[in-house]
């Protein structure tokens, strides 16, 4: 009988089970190591979130401290406390950024944010040394100027940190489940409330301002209207005028445009939800082009405003707008106000003030800025693509002797319709106002002055709000022309208001199509969608409803001001124009709040507001039998 030897069995057992046990031990250790790494990563992410929150709190605290610093007058003891507060805020920012850099993982797509933090850290460190002098370096040379530059640098760093934090955080708020209409409306409402708070700071005005007047001015600036109840030139200090300019810029382009673009820039990426939401806000067809479009909007805006400021500066006479600094400030303010179609001016009588009324070069520059801002960014991009395509083709023909490559339909129907409608409105408004006002508001001017005045009035009536003539001296027929131009307004996706040129054009084409017996609208080889026709009809109907209701309420609260004046004021507010027959400052408190609501609805859009309250039905999988309703 075959017997198993114990030594052989033990050796076999060892050869088989010992490696198995070793493998199990290694796997167990590896599992525990993975669990430990995951636990460490979880704690690291939690700590990073806590540090981000700490940085946001520090930035917000520093910003509030900044507003307290520049918005109020202080004694020496209070200034010392503010300086200590700045030290604490800078220290927290320094610690949170250093810890965040140490704990976070470096990725290629977030290098911009990390680079910004790396650049900011030595600046914060240097400013802390300037304040507490822990390195012993002598910074006392030119103490007064150095302290002023130091305070400005601290304030700029705090604003920069807050801006970065808000921009990156805005991408977390915007996702696919967010309602674009509600987010759009909420951003404007927040900006108006915040702007009213800024304008109520003691140092923003010379003699203080009531809440209603501050809210009215902030709404007018954010909604780029230009109606004012207090004189911007004499009532607000340079700080207050700076606040108004910031509100105009943010309101003209939309605060979501700024925060989304810079949030994407600093964060280095975005989610599909971010792109889907911004696609709805920007009316962009391609998801992959969203942030490139945002970048183009920012670049084009700042470029045109910079060129406009230079041209305005060149058009000023030697003694206009004070000294050189005053001229630069005047040029920048009016360039931004004109491109954003705001109509705010640093002159008490707007551009009709003595010394500026006959500066035709200045008026033409501002008119061109108004037109550029009112065309809409999609149209600018479309024609820029055509211009670039033409230059590239000509270059290839001349240099490489290659044949001309034809790319069909670079200019889409929307761009053609916007440009054609804009030209017709400008030409028609100019011709009618020139003829009707020849012996009224243009009386006494030279032929050049009459032509420039009529052209400027035609341009500014379509949402800008600047004026070079006395509107109260206009003929009654001219008032109706201006009301119509204010009601139509600018183009979609622009800085202007009104029902928009495309809305008016589609409604008019619908009438012509029905008159010809057609069952659809055709233009340039394309069919206008039924959804566009329905939307245009809704916008027109809602605009007349809001304007009619507002006029009715104003007649109850301020009927003594006259029906013509109230109607003109309401159309101006809804079209975010800013022209007035001189009754804005005479409105009662109730009347001012009515105009505030009308300005807000005119900027965000009544249809947008209604869409924000209703849940959107994505698709209908059924159809009822159709019946005709008797119309006319």
CA distance 626 to 312: 59
Mean pLDDT across the stretch 330-355? Answer: 89
- What band does 49 get if pLDDT is binned at 50, 70 and 90? confident
CA distance 240 to 99: 38
Mean pLDDT across the stretch 358-377? Answer: 89
Q: By mean pLDDT, which of 311-320, 433-442, 563-572, 612-621 is the weakest?
A: 612-621
* pLDDT value at residue 214: 95
* pLDDT value at residue 247: 92
Six token digits for residue 123:
């600046």
Identify which has the larger pLDDT, 312 or 145.
312
- What band does 259 get if pLDDT is binned at 50, 70 and 90? low
Which spans in 340-376 are helix H?
A: 360-375
Identify which has the larger pLDDT, 171 or 631.
631
Residue 615 has pLDDT above 90, yes or no: no
Mean pLDDT across the stretch 352-369? Answer: 89
Six token digits for residue 236:
């607000």
* pLDDT value at residue 108: 46
* pLDDT value at residue 90: 73
- What band does 2 get if pLDDT is binned at 50, 70 and 90? very low
**What is the residue extent of each domain of the chain?**
40-173, 404-613
Identify which has the larger pLDDT, 378 or 490.
490
pLDDT tens, residue by residue, 284-302? 556 556 667 777 788 888 8
pLDDT tens, residue by residue, 496-525? 788 999 999 999 999 988 888 888 888 877
Mean pLDDT across the stretch 201-230? Answer: 92
Calculate the alpha carbon distances from 462 to 250, 279, 406, 551, 578 in Å: 20, 27, 36, 20, 10
Quote the mean pLDDT of the chain. Answer: 79
Identify which has the larger pLDDT, 464 or 44.
464
Angle at 20 between CA 18 and CA 21, to 5 degrees: 65
261 alpha-carbon distance from chain centroid = 11
Instruction: Give me the percent of the chain exceeding a pLDDT of 70.
Output: 73
The residue written with tokens 């951003």 in the block is 187
* pLDDT value at residue 23: 65
Instruction: Burial-class residue 40 by CB neighbours within 10 Å (0-12, 13-18, 19+).
Output: exposed
Measured from the Cβ of residue 66, the count of other Cβ atoms closer than 10 Å reads 21
Q: By mean pLDDT, which of 233-247, 271-285, 463-477 is the weakest?
A: 271-285
Residue 399 has pLDDT above 60, yes or no: yes
CA distance 611 to 609: 5
Backbone angles phi, psi at 358, to 5 degrees: -105, 10
Contact indicator for 533, 521 with CB cutoff of 8 Å: yes
**Cut 0.75: pTM above it:** yes
Residue 18 has pLDDT above 80, yes or no: no
CA distance 261 to 265: 6
CA distance 591 to 421: 34
């Amino acid at each position: 009988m075959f017997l198993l030897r114990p030594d052989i069995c033990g050796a076999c057992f060892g050869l088989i089970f010992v490696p198995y046990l070793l493998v199990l031990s290694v796997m167990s250790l590896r599992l525990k190591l993975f669990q430990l790494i995951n636990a460490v990563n979880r704690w690291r992410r939690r700590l990073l979130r806590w540090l981000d929150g700490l940085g946001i709190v520090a930035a917000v605290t520093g910003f509030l401290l900044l507003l307290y610093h520049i918005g109020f007058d202080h004694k020496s003891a209070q200034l010392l406390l503010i300086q200590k507060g700045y030290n604490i805020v800078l220290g927290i920012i320094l610690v949170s950024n250093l810890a965040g850099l140490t704990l976070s993982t470096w990725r290629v797509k977030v290098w911009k944010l990390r680079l910004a933090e790396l650049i900011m850290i030595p600046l914060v460190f240097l400013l802390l040394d300037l304040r507490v002098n822990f390195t012993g370096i002598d910074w006392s040379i030119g103490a007064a100027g150095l302290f002023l530059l130091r305070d400005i640098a601290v304030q700029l760093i705090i604003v920069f940190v807050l801006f970065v934090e808000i921009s990156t955080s805005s991408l977390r708020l915007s996702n696919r489940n967010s309602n674009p209409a509600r987010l759009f409306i909420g951003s404007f409402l927040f900006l108006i409330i915040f702007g009213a708070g800024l304008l109520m700071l003691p140092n923003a005005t010379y003699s203080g301002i009531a809440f209603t007047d501050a809210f009215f001015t902030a709404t007018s600036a954010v909604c780029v209207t230009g109606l004012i109840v207090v004189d911007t030139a004499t009532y607000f200090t340079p700080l207050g005028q700076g606040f108004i300019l910031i509100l105009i810029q943010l309101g003209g382009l939309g605060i979501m445009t700024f925060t989304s673009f810079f949030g994407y820039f600093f964060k280095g990426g975005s989610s599909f939800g971010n792109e889907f939401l911004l696609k709805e806000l920007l009316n962009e067809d391609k998801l992959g082009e969203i942030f490139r479009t945002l970048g183009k909007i920012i670049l084009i805006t700042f470029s045109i405003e910079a060129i406009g400021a230079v041209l305005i500066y060149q058009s000023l006479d030697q003694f206009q707008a004070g000294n050189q600094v005053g001229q630069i400030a005047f040029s920048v303010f009016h360039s931004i106000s004109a491109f954003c179609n705001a109509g705010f001016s640093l002159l008490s009588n707007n551009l009709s003030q003595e010394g500026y009324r006959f500066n035709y070069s200045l008026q033409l520059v501002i008119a061109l800025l108004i037109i550029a801002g009112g065309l809409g960014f999609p149209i600018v991009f479309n024609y820029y693509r055509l211009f670039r395509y033409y230059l590239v083709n000509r270059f290839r023909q001349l240099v490489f002797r290659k044949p001309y490559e034809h790319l069909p339909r670079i200019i889409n129907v929307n761009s053609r319709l916007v440009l054609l409608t804009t030209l017709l409105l400008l030409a028609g408004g100019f011709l009618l106002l020139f003829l009707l006002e020849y012996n009224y508001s243009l009386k006494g001017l030279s032929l050049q002055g009459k032509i420039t005045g009529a052209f400027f009035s035609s341009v500014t009536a379509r949402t800008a709000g600047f004026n070079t003539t006395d509107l109260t001296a206009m003929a009654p027929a001219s008032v109706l022309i201006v009301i119509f131009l204010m009601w139509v307004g600018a183009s979609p996706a622009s800085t202007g208001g009104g029902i928009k040129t495309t809305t008016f054009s589609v409604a008019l084409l619908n009438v012509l199509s029905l008159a010809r017996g057609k069952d659809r609208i055709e233009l340039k080889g394309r069919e206008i969608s039924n959804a566009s026709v329905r939307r245009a009809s809704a916008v027109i109907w809602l605009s007349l409803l809001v304007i009619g209701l507002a006029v009715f309420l104003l007649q109850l609260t301020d009927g003594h001001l006259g029906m013509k004046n109230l109607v003109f004021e309401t159309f101006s507010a809804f079209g975010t124009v800013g022209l007035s027959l001189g009754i804005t400052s005479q409105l009662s408190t109730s009347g001012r709040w009515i105009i505030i609501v009308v300005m807000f609805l005119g900027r965000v859009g009544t249809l947008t507001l209604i869409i924000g309250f209703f849940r959107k039905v994505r698709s209908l999988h059924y159809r009822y039998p159709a019946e005709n309703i008797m119309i006319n």
